Structure 1
Amino acid sequence: MYTMILLVYLQQNLDVSLDQARLRGEYLRQADCEAAARKLRGPVPIPANYAAAWQDVMCVKVANNVRVNEAAPLDLARALQAHAPLRCQAEGAWERLAAQCRPSETNGAAGEKAARR
């Protein structure tokens, strides 16, 4: 089974940012997904204070027993803070992501150093 990931890009002067990414639809074949994706690619209404906005779509394979819902995007930073991975372990590029789940560790370490002085 395949699903689409919608990616909405906003341009402000020379900066381009990804505003959201969310799943949409279930397709039995990749060709069906790509056909639907072609219809969704392209410009979208431009919000105030932005120069351009456009939507891209990518099709990805998911397991047949996975249910694709169209819920709002997950706030990953909030999820990590509420349910931090064990000791916030991470390597390489994941270190930046894991840093979001550490505010209490960072503050606690600074407090320990101050107490030792």
Structure 2
Amino acid sequence: MLAGCLALLGACHGAPPATTALARSAPAATCKVSEPVCDPAVSDDTALALVRRRCAGCHAEGGKAQHPLLELSVLGKARSDVALRLSGCEMPPEPTPLPADERARLIGWGACTEIAK
């Protein structure tokens, strides 16, 4: 089911469709595919700080990723995509895995559908 959601998400955003092979390409020691589950305890500020600290190398304006995510207005709109790509082990690319606790926090934040106030 997750792979199907990722493929659909990729098609909607013009990115190449995700496949189960993509999800399996991350080493098991660094990433474990999981269903994204909302964690309302993770605030927008916490998520933004984490993305700025861990993802700015690629996701800054003009970075090698096509999606700058360092402003809350942009990150908030991409929250479900963030959760799906992290939970499907598509992001971050090797060799820069997120620590499991930070990955879980971002997935939990991204799986929530409303911007926290």
| Bin for the TM-score computed over the shorter chain | under 0.3
- Relative to total residues, which structure has the larger strand share, 1 or 2? 1
Which of structures 1 and 2 has the larger relative contact order (alpha carbons within 8 angstroms, sep 6+)?
2
CA radius of gyration, larger in? 1
- TM score, norm. by length of structure 2: 0.26
- TM score, norm. by length of structure 1: 0.26
- Relative to total residues, which structure has the larger helix share, 1 or 2? 2
